[in-house]
Chain A
Amino acid sequence: MRLILALSLRNLLRQKRRNLFLGIAICFGMMILVLAISFSQGLTDTLLNRVVVYIAGHMSIVTMEESNKDRRIIRDKEKFINIVKSNIKDIKKVWESIGVFARVIGNSRADNAIIVGRVADKDFLEYLGQNLVEGNLGDFTSGAVENPVILYSNKAKTLGVKYRDTINARFATITKQQQSVRLNVAAVLRSSNLFEEMAMFVNLKDLKSLVGLKPHETGALYISFKRINNPDHAIREAIKLHKLLKPDVAVIYGEAVNKNRSSNATALGYAGDKESLSIMNKHVSLLSGAMPAEKSENEALVSKNLAADFKLRSGDRITYRYKNKYENLTTENRYRVAGIFNSAGISDRNIILLNERSFYKTYLQNLPADARKYKQAYVPLRRSALYPVFEPEWKLLPRTSTFEAMQLKMRDMTKTKWKGPWLDVRTMYESADFILKLEYALKLVAFTAVLILFFIILIGVLNTLRMTVRERTREIGTMRAIGMQRTDVKYLFIAETVLLTAIACVAGIILSFIVMWVLGLFTINTDSVLSILLVNRRLHFLPTAASIAGNYILIILMAAATAYFPARRASNLSAVTALGHFE
Chain B
Amino acid sequence: MALIARIAWRNIQRHRGKSLVIGIILFLGALIMTIGNGVVSGMERGLRDGIINRFTGQIVVISGRQEQDNVIFTPLGKDVQVITGYEKIKHALETSGYVDKFIPVGKGLTLVLNENGDVGYSLVLGVNFEEYQKMFMNNVKLVEGAFLNKDDRGILITSGNRKRFYDELDFWFMPEGVKLNDKNLTDEALKYKDRLDVKNDIVLMGSSMENTTMDLRLKVKGIVKYEYLDDYWKNFNIIDIESFREAFQYVTASDAAVNIPSYQRKLLETDNLDSLFEDNVVTKAGAGNKKYEIAELIGKRAARKKPGIDSGAYNIIFVKLKKGGSIEKSLRKLNDAFKAAGAEARAVPWGNAVGQLADLAMIMRGATIGFVMLIFFVAVIIIMNTLSMAALERVSEIGMMRAVGAQKSFISGMFFAETAVISSVFGGAGIIAGGICISILNLLHITTDNNILELLFGGNVLRPTLGFFDIMIGVIELAVVTVIAAAYPLTVARRITPLDAVTRD
Q: Taking beta carbons and an 8 Å cutoff, which residues of A are in contact with B?
A: 17-18, 21-22, 24-25, 28-29, 32, 68, 70, 103, 105, 108-114, 157-158, 168, 170, 172, 175-178, 180-182, 194, 197-198, 407, 411, 414-415, 438, 445, 449, 452-453, 455-457, 459-460, 462-464, 466-467, 471, 526-530
Contacts and interface: CB of A to CB of B under 8 A. Distances in A.
Looking at A112, A175, A177, A471, the one whose CB has the most chain B CB atoms below 10 A away is: A112
B117 A18 contact: no
B211 A456 contact: no
B225 to A, nearest CB: 21
Contacts of B28: 452, 455-456
Contacts of B287: 177-178
A21 B388 CA distance: 10
Nearest to A454: B378
Nearest to A459: B21
A467 B75 contact: no
20 contacts: A18-B385, A21-B382, A21-B384, A25-B385, A110-B79, A111-B209, A158-B67, A168-B276, A170-B273, A170-B277, A172-B117, A182-B273, A197-B75, A411-B188, A460-B25, A460-B385, A462-B21, A464-B385, A467-B390, A471-B393
A530 B356 contact: yes
Nearest to B363: A530
Looking at A22, A181, A194, A528, the one whose CB has the most chain B CB atoms below 10 A away is: A528
A56 to B, nearest CB: 17
A261 to B, nearest CB: 36
Nearest to A437: B450
Contact of A180 (B67, B277, B371): B277
A525 B489 CA distance: 43
Contact of A108 (B170, B264, B385): B264
Interface in B20-57: 21, 24-25, 28-29, 32
A460 B211 CA distance: 66
Given A180-B276, A452-B28, A25 B378 contact: yes
Contact of B76 (A112, A438, A467): A112
Contacts of B277: 103, 170, 178, 180
A176 B79 CA distance: 24
Nearest to A198: B76
A112 B385 contact: no
Given A105-B276, A172-B119, A463-B18, A110 B207 contact: yes
A452 B375 contact: yes
Contact of B208 (A110, A463, A529): A110
B18 A168 contact: no
A24 B381 CA distance: 8
Contacts of A459: 21, 24-25, 382
Given A103-B277, A176-B286, A530-B359, A109 B192 contact: no
Interface string B346-359: 00000000011001
B382 A457 contact: yes
A449 B378 CA distance: 12
Nearest to B207: A103
Contacts of B210: 108-110
Contacts of A114: 76
Contacts of A68: 118
B82 to A, nearest CB: 12
A180 B367 contact: no
A28 B378 contact: yes
Interface of B: 17-18, 21, 24-25, 28-29, 32, 67-68, 70, 75-79, 109, 116-119, 167, 170, 188, 191-192, 195, 207-211, 263-264, 267, 273-274, 276-277, 280, 283-284, 286-287, 355-356, 359-360, 363, 367, 371, 374-375, 377-379, 381-382, 384-386, 388-390, 393, 452
Given A178-B284, A449-B371, A453-B378, A527 B386 contact: no
B17 A463 contact: yes
Contacts of B24: 459
A236 B15 CA distance: 59
Main secondary structure of the interface of B (DSSP, over half): helix
Nearest to B376: A456
A176 B116 contact: yes
B430 to A, nearest CB: 13
B360 A113 contact: no
B109 A528 contact: no
Given A110-B210, A112-B109, A21 B118 contact: no
Nearest to A19: B385
B386 A460 contact: yes
A180 B109 CA distance: 20
B381 A28 contact: yes
Given A110-B210, A445-B367, A180 B273 contact: yes
A567 B389 CA distance: 18
B29 to A, nearest CB: 8
A245 B207 CA distance: 42
B350 to A, nearest CB: 14
Contacts of A32: 374
B264 to A, nearest CB: 6
A112 B119 contact: no
A197 B74 CA distance: 12
B117 A177 contact: yes
Nearest to B70: A527
A168 B371 contact: no
A17 B388 CA distance: 9
A181 B24 CA distance: 70
Contacts of B273: 168, 170, 180-182
Contacts of B68: 527
Nearest to A467: B389
B386 A463 contact: yes
B77 A112 contact: yes
Contacts of B283: 178
A25 B381 contact: yes
Contact of B375 (A170, A415, A453): A453
A178 B280 CA distance: 10
B382 A456 contact: yes
Given A198-B75, A528-B359, A108 B211 contact: yes
Contacts of A176: 116-119, 286
A105 B385 CA distance: 66
A86 to B, nearest CB: 36
A90 B430 CA distance: 54
Contacts of A528: 70, 355-356, 359-360
Looking at A24, A170, A460, A471, the one whose CB has the most chain B CB atoms below 10 A away is: A460
A111 B77 CA distance: 9
